[in-house]
Copies of this chain bind each other. A is one copy, B any other.
Amino acid sequence: MATLLLLPGDGIGPEVCAEVRRVAAALVPNLNVEEAIYGGASYDAHGTPLTDEVRDRALASDAVLMGAVGGPKWADAPRHLRPEAGLLNLRKAMNVYANLRPAYCFEALAGASSLKTELVSGLDIMFVRELVGGVYFGEPRGIDTLPDGQKKGYDTALYTTSEIERAGRVAFELARGRKNKVHSAEKSNVMESGLLWKQVITELHAREYPDVELEHILADNCAMQLVRAPKQFDVIVTDNLFGDILSDAAAMLTGSLGMLPSAAIGDPGRPGLYEPIHGSAPDIAGKGVANPLAAILSFEMALRWSLKEVEAADRLLAAVKGALDSGARTRDLGGELTTVQMGDAVLCRI
């Protein structure tokens, strides 16, 4: 029996994860759903956002689903003990190097985008963001005091051939099942790590994926094109930092922010880490009004990518679309439904 470890975390995390529990029970009754404490909640209880025990349970499970972490309550915690540090440590420990972030426009919500409807209707981009390397983890890093009293803050943006290759492979494989087109975004004109990125992707493509269309694009131009004509993109592969920024901009294009899931996967057979793109939303936490669809769709990705329950994933996706088409809307979508009512709207269509 497969095991899903739920890490509800902070803010609205527990509320949206409760809906995932209900959906899981109805859809895949055989799934063993466990739960553990994590993030700010874990810091409060154990003095660290990620205990060794929870990390080990994550590594031993088949998939991990996080609600949300962080909030102003922990802003003054020591940097390495903040909820965000727990998240980075978990990604690194699980070695989930490829972060799949769909920027998908649900037809029923196209009108809610900032962009003109014709620019986003039918939008379906998949970002593959490298997730365990780059400037997020590179050494050396620190803040030093110079002899004249000034401070110097520094970080190292670093990639090796194999780190780039494994992220690239995920992108090319994905593209084959989609529109067969990959954009690789970097700043090879000003960064050495970006130049290596471009070279390695070019060689990997020629060697293993010549059938896939590949285009290199500078990250600044990519940001611009995402606003100008986002439908030109299919799969975008990029580094940890650019992926963070570009995928957030793209998520906003869909009109479905607060609805978008993500998957972080590693080597085949290893557990994946699934999480909504949205944050812990402390302002509405505990009120029962958060939109649970991002968490539910993250579970959908877990079914597909880690739990090999593709048929259940298809059914769940259809249920979510059906709920939206029927007009089900939480507050963030301009409606009145509560978290539980939106969960019901999905459940009754499974």
Q: Identify the A interface with B (CB < 8 A).
A: 79, 82, 84, 88, 114-116, 119, 135-136, 138, 141-143, 146, 150-162, 187, 189-197, 200, 219-221, 223-224, 226-229, 241-242, 244-246, 248-249, 251-253, 257
Contacts and interface: CB of A to CB of B under 8 A. Distances in A.
A139 to B, nearest CB: 10
A164 B52 CA distance: 38
A221 B248 contact: yes
Contacts of A88: 190
B191 A135 contact: yes
A115 B82 CA distance: 36
Contacts of A227: 114-115, 227, 249, 252-253
Contacts of A187: 241, 244
20 contacts: A115-B227, A116-B116, A146-B160, A151-B161, A153-B158, A153-B159, A153-B192, A153-B194, A155-B156, A155-B191, A155-B192, A156-B157, A219-B244, A220-B245, A223-B245, A224-B248, A224-B252, A227-B249, A227-B253, A245-B246
A135 B227 CA distance: 25
A63 to B, nearest CB: 25
B154 A193 contact: yes
B138 A154 contact: yes
Number of copies: 2
A161 B154 CA distance: 12
B223 A223 contact: yes
A157 B160 contact: no
Describe A's contact surface by its main secondary structure: helix
A295 to B, nearest CB: 19
A98 to B, nearest CB: 18
Contacts of A79: 195
B245 A219 contact: yes
Nearest to A140: B156
A228 B244 CA distance: 17
Contact of A228 (B84, B136, B150, B252): B252
A151 B159 CA distance: 8
Nearest to A142: B192
A143 B228 contact: no
Contacts of A116: 114-116
Contacts of A193: 153-155
Contacts of A244: 187, 219-220
Contacts of A221: 248
A136 to B, nearest CB: 5
A79 B194 CA distance: 13
Contacts of A142: 192
A162 to B, nearest CB: 6
B197 A223 contact: no
A190 B134 CA distance: 11
A248 B224 CA distance: 6
A152 B160 contact: yes
